[in-house]
């Protein structure tokens, strides 16, 4: 998803609106959201409409495989806004995968803490291809942006969201988690705050293990089958190849927790992260409703 903030100067130059959650008046704006049907973007669009904002959105044609397979969307957006002076801000939705690929990467980071100064250097096509693709995409976006003569303000928001199923026991894996609604809110705050710049990590300040999640789920689901214990690493290593996990990946990710520096998103954008228990409960209820349809 890409997110553009366009000032309406030149069309409605005398109009201003004041957002009480931000605290300053600004010219009337319109928002452009690409990939508006995806998980994060749909929440961005919903929150903007609830605020009464003007929103333009595009969605992908899932039948057009050529467009889906070729990831040139960000370059097209950055090239296009060079021709439109009214576009003031472009927000790239990236991922924490562009910062780290394996949890073992955290062991090389200062204070074992994920910060925006790092880029993922441990992954490649044959190892964590998804994380590698996210890294290459963001680095290429910044390269294109820096090469432009008069670029608009550009920000990169790095989030990580976990959804999945759990079985009789869970491996000792740790993830950075965030509520998609807060990610959407951050996109809007970043667009409206003229002082926002660079990269922002959007996640809680410490990783959570899978067993943390399952223990939150047990009282919500009232199902005794939801696991409450972590599987021994030896068991996971033995079963890993049958589940599609290489020994190299397990070695670099099992039992490695970490911290994340989310202070810029809180201090500069005023983001208050939802308690994880609330996010898990809401996610479960959404899943249950979707399943019953």
User: What is the rounded distance in angstroms from the CA atom of residue 105 to the CA atom of residue 102?
Assistant: 6
What does the pLDDT look like over 119-128, one tens digit per residue?
Answer: 999 998 888 8
- Stated pTM of the model: 0.77
* Stretch among 36-40, 142-146, 148-152, 259-263 having the lowest mean pLDDT: 148-152
User: What is the rounded distance in angstroms from the CA atom of residue 183 to the CA atom of residue 262?
Assistant: 12
Give the count of beta carbons closer than 10 Å to the beta carbon of residue 5: 23
User: What is the rounded distance in angstroms from the CA atom of residue 127 to the CA atom of residue 239?
Assistant: 19
DSSP state of 229: S
Nearest to 283 by CA among 178, 176, 175, 187: 178
Nearest to 188 by CA among 21, 70, 65, 15: 21
Rounded to a whole number of angstroms, the CA Rg of the chain reads 20
Mean pLDDT along residues 240-264: 91
Q: How confident is the model at residue 242 (pLDDT cuts 50, 70, 90)?
A: confident
Q: What is the pLDDT of residue 3?
A: 54
What does the pLDDT look like over 38-83, one tens digit per residue?
Answer: 888 889 999 999 999 989 888 776 666 555 454 566 777 778 878 8
Assign domain 2-292 one CATH number from 3.30.70.1450, 3.90.650.10, 1.10.150.300, 3.40.50.720.
3.40.50.720
Mean pLDDT along residues 16-33: 56
Average pLDDT, the chain: 82
Q: What is the pLDDT of residue 196?
A: 92
Q: Output 77 or 110, whichever has higher pLDDT.
A: 110
Each domain of the chain, given as residue ranges in start order, spans 2-292
Rounded to 5°, the CA angle 63-130-36 comes to 45
Q: What is the pLDDT of residue 141?
A: 86
DSSP state of 62: T
Q: What values do phi and psi take at 63, rounded to 5?
A: -85, -15
List CB contacts of 88: < 8 A, sequence separation 6 or more.
5, 6, 7, 152, 153
pLDDT at 143 over 50: yes
Q: Output 28 or 180, whichever has higher pLDDT.
A: 180
Q: What is the pLDDT of residue 201?
A: 96
What does the pLDDT look like over 160-176, one tens digit per residue?
Answer: 754 434 345 789 999 99
Q: Containing H/E element for 76?
A: helix 73-81
């Amino acid at each position: 998803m890409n997110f553009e903030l366009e000032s309406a100067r030149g069309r409605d130059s005398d109009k201003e609106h004041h957002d009480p959650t931000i605290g300053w008046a600004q010219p009337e704006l319109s928002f452009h959201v690409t990939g508006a049907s995806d998980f994060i973007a749909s929440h961005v669009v919903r929150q903007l409409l609830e605020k009464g904002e003007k929103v333009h959105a595009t969605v992908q044609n899932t039948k057009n495989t050529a467009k889906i397979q070729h990831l040139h969307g960000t370059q097209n957006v950055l090239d296009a806004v060079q021709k439109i002076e009214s576009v003031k801000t472009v927000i790239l939705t990236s991922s924490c995968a562009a910062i780290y690929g394996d949890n073992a990467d955290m062991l090389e980071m200062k204070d074992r803490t994920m910060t925006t100064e790092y880029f993922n250097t441990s992954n490649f096509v044959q190892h964590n291809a998804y994380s590698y693709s996210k890294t290459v995409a963001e680095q290429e976006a910044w390269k294109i942006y820096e090469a432009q003569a008069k670029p608009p303000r550009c920000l990169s928001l790095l989030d990580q969201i976990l959804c999945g199923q759990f079985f009789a026991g869970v491996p000792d894996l740790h993830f950075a988690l965030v509520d998609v609604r807060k990610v959407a809110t951050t996109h809007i705050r970043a667009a409206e705050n003229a002082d926002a710049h660079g990269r922002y990590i959007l996640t809680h300040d410490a990783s959570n293990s899978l067993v943390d999640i399952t223990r939150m789920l047990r009282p919500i689901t009232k199902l005794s089958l939801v696991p409450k214990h972590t599987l021994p690493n030896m068991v996971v290593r033995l079963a890993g190849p049958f589940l599609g996990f290489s020994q190299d990946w397990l070695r670099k990710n099992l039992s490695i927790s970490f911290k994340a520096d989310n202070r810029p998103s809180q201090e500069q954008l005023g983001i208050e992260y939802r308690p994880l228990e609330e996010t898990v409960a809401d996610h479960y209820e959404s899943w249950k409703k979707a399943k019953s349809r």
